Structures are given as structure tokens and as C-alpha cells.
Structure 1
Amino acid sequence: MKKLIVFLSIIAFTGCATVDQQTGEQNPNKTGKGAGIGAIAGAVLGAAVSSKSDRGRGAVTGAVLGAAVGGGVGHYMDKQEKELREKLKDSGVQVNRQGNDLNLIMPGNITFAVGKSDIRSDFYSVLNSVAQALKQYDQTTVRISGFTDSTGPLSFNQRLSEERANSVRTYLLAQGVASERIDSAGYGPANPIASNASEDGRQANRRVEIKLIPIQQ
């Protein structure tokens, strides 16, 4: 059993490297990692629910099933990530990957006018591309979060962040994304990604993020 876990751990943290189409950097293969991690979880669970004499066989069976599930989710998100990177290239939207979650970071300066929650008309085409990908890959939940910088009254920033997140949600719904998949929330100046001491940092913090989470998780 211990040897099996060690072997699967090696699979989970190795694998082919893929080239990030946006940055040109090499990233670990998420499908292989997903399969390895799923295999480890399946092996542990399979052994735990099996009798003492059958723990080895239970671990192997669990590992096979776990690898299939983990690898399937990873492959699905690999394809969605590739699609989004191609559609959003040069749009100003960042596509970040954390495990099997995808996070789209939309800077406020290209999405909204200062202090407003109405989406800029020149950003419609970008959101249309996002909506197309969401409809094509419908096995994800969509979490929309609005953020502001720390300047101005907290109550105003909180309300503005909520309204901006809801504006993006409303737009995606109008493009045909299912309502039960999407939720939105505003967090005001919480969770800054840069220092609010500089204009560049404040601009980075004024943003909307769309997190895509696979339903299979």
C-alpha cells in the first residue's frame, strides 16, 4: 500500500510540460496531475472501505477510478483554458489556472468607467467571447467577484463592487449562460492584488474576477 501511494505521488507531481499560449512559459500538465491526485485519493478511500485482507485490491481499484475522474476533469479544464486563452488574447483579461479552477481577471479600467457599474460598450465583444466559452463548456459553476481599491468611502466601494459583479452576471445571462450556474458578490477593497499606495496598484485592485469551477469536483 505504501509503495502504491509513493508511486502515485510521483505521477501526481510529474508529467509532461505544456506551453502557456499567453506567456510562452512551460506549465505542468494539469490532466496528468489531476489523474495522479485522483488516483491517490481513490487508493486511500478504496483501502479504507475494504477489509484488511482486501486492502491492496481495494486501493488499486480506487486508484484506477480516482485517476479516471481526476484526469477527466483536468482534461476538460485544459480544453476550456486553451479556448479562453485563444479568445481573450490581447484583450487585457488575464487567465490564471489554480488546480482545476480557472480565474479570469478583468481590470476595471477596461471594463467600466470610473465610479460606474455600466459595462463599457467596447468590452461587450470580450464578454461575448467569455459567454461563448461558458456555453460550450457548461460543466462549470461561475463565481463572479467585484473588487475596488481602498480610496473613497467603504460603503460606496462595497456597493460599487456588488453592482459591477452583478452587471457582468446580468450580461452573461443575457448571452444565454444558465442562471443556475452563476452567482455574484462584491467585496469592496478586500483581497487586494497590489498595493493601494500607488496608482498602478489601485488600478490593478479595481477589477472583476470570474472563477470557473468544475462541477465534477
Structure 2
Amino acid sequence: MLKKIAVLAITSVIVAGCQSTNPYTGEQQAAKSAKYGGIGVLAGAVIGAAANGKDGALAGAALGGLAGAGYGAYTDKQEAALRAELQGTGVQIARYGDDLKLIMPGSITFDSNESSIKTSFYSVLSSVARVMKNYEKNPVVIIGHTDSTGNELKTNMPLSQARAQSVATYLIQQGVPASRITPYGVGSSQSIATNKTPEGRAQNRRVEIDLKPPMQ
């Protein structure tokens, strides 16, 4: 009975503390660090209770919460830094758990059918590199995409690969270790919009930078 009471009490604290206001939308949402801390708390509580009763549940919850919150808090801070640096640049930032994805439309990064980065985009990539160097634990995956216009093997695949490599080369020149970076192209195989309209094709022509969860 004491084990159940301890776990229920801890759960109520988590639920109360997990809500926060999104600084970018003003909406209520589950704070990422609180969410991951809550998962750690619950896991620690269950394991601790099974082993040592009420005292074990409380001790396990404390340790689990610290581990979970630290993992989520790292990504929280990195996301906030990227949003501050990239506001108004046209780069979209998406988050899936602890994965961060930067979506860079081809219209602002490259001229049509070219793989050389636009001079006007250098400062944006420099901002990305600055955050990457401050948050050095993340593996970086750079993916080049095209629309379906042109031959897939002769045109789209080489162009998407060249664009991903151009972004990788620039980031390395700015001081991001090459060992962290993996660039590759996928041609038109991962479209996010229809290729039947100019607007859709424009969305598909893009480079994405995936910042994977910190290596353990």
C-alpha cells in the first residue's frame, strides 16, 4: 500500500509540473525537460519501490528524474538557441522528441540546379554552426532533397548529394568537427508535397539538418 501511495504522490507532482507556455506560440504544452524528468521519476519510483518499498520509491524517483530531465533539458536549450539565431531567416525548426530538424528551402540556400550555397545564406549557416559548437554532443545528419523534375539517377541524386555536401563543407569550415557530420542525398524519394505544382516542387527542393539525440 505504501508503495502505491508513494508512486501516486510522485505522479501527481509530475502532472502539475509538466505544463508550460510555449515561448513561440503562447500555447500551453508539456515542457520537454519536465516530460523526460517525469518519465525518469516514474521509472525510478517503480524500480525503487519494488526493491525497497516507500523509501526506495522516493530515492529511485529522485535519481530517475535527474537523468530524464538532464536529457530533455539539453535539447530544450539547444532548440531555444537555434530559434533565437534563426528567427526570420526562412529556416524551419521541427522537433520530434529529442530530434531537432532544420528545414532549409532550396529557394534560400541554392540557385536553381546549382549546388553552390548562395552568398546571402552564409551568415545563416554560420549561426547554425555557432549553436552546433556550443552543443557539441549531437551527431549531425545533412540530407539533400530535390523535386521529381529531371532524371532521378543522372540529375536528382547527384544534385541532392552535392547540396548536402556543400552544407557539410561549410559547417566544417566554421569549426564543426567533420567526425560529427554525415551528408547524403536522397533525390526526390522523400517528397513532403506534391510534385504536380510549382509550389509543391518548391517545398520538396530542400536541405535538412538533423540533430540527433546526444550520444551517451
Q: TM-score range by the shorter chain?
A: 0.7 to 0.9
- In the alignment, which residue of structure 2 is the partner of 1:78? 76
- In the alignment, which residue of structure 1 is the partner of 2:85? 87
- In the alignment, which residue of structure 1 is the partner of 2:161? 162
1:181–1:198 distance in 2 versus 1, CA, 3 Å: same
1:43–1:146 distance in 2 versus 1, CA, 3 Å: farther
SS of match in other structure, 2:95: strand
Instruction: Specify which of 38, 41, 57 is matched with residue 40 of structure 2.
Output: 38
Q: Which moved more, 1:32-41 or 1:206-215?
A: 32-41
Give runs of ≥4 in structure 1 deviating > 6 Å: none
* 1:139 correspondence with 2:137: yes
- In the alignment, which residue of structure 2 is the partner of 1:195? 194
1:190–1:27 distance in 2 versus 1, CA, 3 Å: farther
Task: Give deviations 1:196-216, integer Å, cap 9, x for gaps.
Answer: 121111111111111112315
In the TM superposition, what is the alpha-carbon distance from 1:25 to its structure 2 partner?
Answer: 4.4
* 1:183 correspondence with 2:182: yes
Q: Contact conserved, 1:160 with 1:188, CA < 8 A, in 2?
A: yes
In the TM superposition, what is the alpha-carbon distance from 1:193 to its structure 2 partner?
Answer: 1.4
Q: What is the percentage of aligned positions where both structures have the same residue?
A: 47
Kindly provide the amino acid, as one letter, of the partner of residue 36 in structure 2.
G
**Distance in structure 1 (CA, Å) of the matches to 2:65 and 2:142:** 30
* 1:129 correspondence with 2:133: no
RMSD of the TM alignment (CA)? 2.6
1:181–1:54 distance in 2 versus 1, CA, 3 Å: same
SS of match in other structure, 1:65: helix
**Distance in structure 1 (CA, Å) of the matches to 2:16 and 2:99:** 17
SS of match in other structure, 1:31: helix
Task: Give deviations 1:51-77, integer Å, cap 9, x for gaps.
Answer: x65476655544332221221122121
Kindly provide the amino acid, as one letter, of the partner of residue 120 in structure 2.
D
Q: Normalising by the residue count of structure 2, what TM-score does the alignment of the two structures yield?
A: 0.85
Task: Give deviations 1:135-180, integer Å, cap 9, x for gaps.
Answer: 1111222111111111211112111111111111111000001122
